[in-house]
A and B are shown apart, each in its own frame.
Chain A
Amino acid sequence: GAGVSQSPSNKVTEKGKDVELRCDPISGHTALYWYRQSLGQGLEFLIYFQGNSAPDKSGLPSDRFSAERTGGSVSTLTIQRTQQEDSAVYLCASSLASADYSYEQYFGPGTRLTVT
């Protein structure tokens, strides 16, 4: 079946511009996650959605970052007034969700963002 997809795969933007990154999770997965991975670094948690709501936004680095999820499916991560330090790979993951069981996450291929 279809996995998690992300678009665009690569994005080059000028400093100060806004960018939108898109994530299409696996159908039926109620949980959706955004992570950031800088060159040679581990994963930095950004935000988590359960359905359309985001119970945990604690990882968003600044108020320039926002995310939304509509219809319990597609999610968009928006970065306003991009800075060079925003350059990274942005990964999206989805999973089933349960209070009693920890399901594995399925990751998309990522969007490589370069801010010039």
Chain B
Amino acid sequence: AQSVTQLDSHVSVSEGTPVLLRCNYSSSYSPSLFWYVQHPNKGLQLLLKYTSAATLVKGINGFEAEFKKSETSFHLTKPSAHMSDAAEYFCVVSDKGSYIPTFGRGTSLIVHP
């Protein structure tokens, strides 16, 4: 069975400071993990994905995430926040062979000037 927990419903940072959005997952085996971003009144867009290749995954807009099997985590980071990063972020897990991914409840990132 697969499940995902986003540990923070809201994260507030100042522009130019680092971003950390936390995600823990549970999976039977060989999970694929994704981060999606949703800007206000828009659909979801893929930021990055992990599919059993390199554990450090780089995505769009300077975001990256590290797959840590021992900690069952897939936290999203960015060295320096921009105002345009303000959005809702979703962590997603999908077991190998599962056609229906499981979404986290989302983390709202607020960026202050």
Contact = CB atoms under 8 A, between A and B. Distances in A.
B97 interface: yes
A109 interface: yes
A31 B103 contact: no
Contacts, number: 53
B100 A104 contact: no
A102 interface: yes
A24 B105 CA distance: 26
Interface string B58-97: 0000000000000000000000000000000010001111
A105 B102 CA distance: 12
Contacts of A55: 99
A42 B90 contact: yes
Interface string B27-45: 0000010101000001111
A42 B101 contact: no
Interface in A61-115: 91, 93, 97, 99-102, 104-110
A56 B101 CA distance: 12
Interface string A35-49: 000000111010010
Contacts of A97: 99
B49 A31 contact: no
Given A41-B105, A102-B96, 19 more contacts: A42-B103, A42-B106, A43-B106, A45-B103, A50-B99, A56-B99, A91-B43, A93-B44, A99-B97, A100-B97, A101-B51, A101-B96, A102-B95, A102-B98, A102-B101, A105-B101, A107-B44, A107-B45, A110-B43
